[in-house]
Amino acid sequence: MNLGFPTWVGVVCEDHASQRRFYEDVLGMRAVRDGDGFVAYELEPGGEFELIERSTEPEYDGVRYQVGYAVDDIEATRSELISRGVTPISDIHGMKGEGRWAYFKDPEGNVFELKER
């Protein structure tokens, strides 16, 4: 298992519209993708910052920052983490070859993501 440097940082927010105005109007970020309940910004080539509206999904159920670690093989890495006792809170999302991700919690309940590139 080889976790890479975080390639993704997400902010789960209560007031998505207000947060979006702050990051765009005050900090000057430009959206590169958006959809229902999220907006993504490219930080540097390969890095992404995302605002996500709080929801009932376990990976977005509270206001917080969370990071996504780059991995080469998400299936193998997910299995390895589970075998080491790490708590998964989602299945693998996305499509093979287009970038997939999965969420976990650390021992204190902090959410983090694995991101296959």
Domains in the chain with CATH codes: 6-116 (3.10.180.10)
Token output for 33: 């993708």
3-class secondary-structure state, position 58: helix
- In tens, the pLDDT along 58-115 reads 999 999 999 999 999 999 999 999 999 999 999 999 998 888 999 999 888 889 999 9
100 contacts: CB under 8 Å, gap ≥ 6: 74, 92, 93, 94, 115, 116
| Predicted confidence band of residue 4 (pLDDT cuts 50, 70, 90) | confident
Residue 37 near residue 82, CB atoms below 8 Å: no
- Scanning 43-105, the segments in alpha helix (DSSP H) are 74-83
pTM for the whole structure:
0.81
The residue behind tokens 């390895």 is 80
Q: Percent of the chain at pLDDT above 90? A: 74
Q: How far is Cα 61 from Cα 55, in angstroms, rounded to an integer?
A: 5
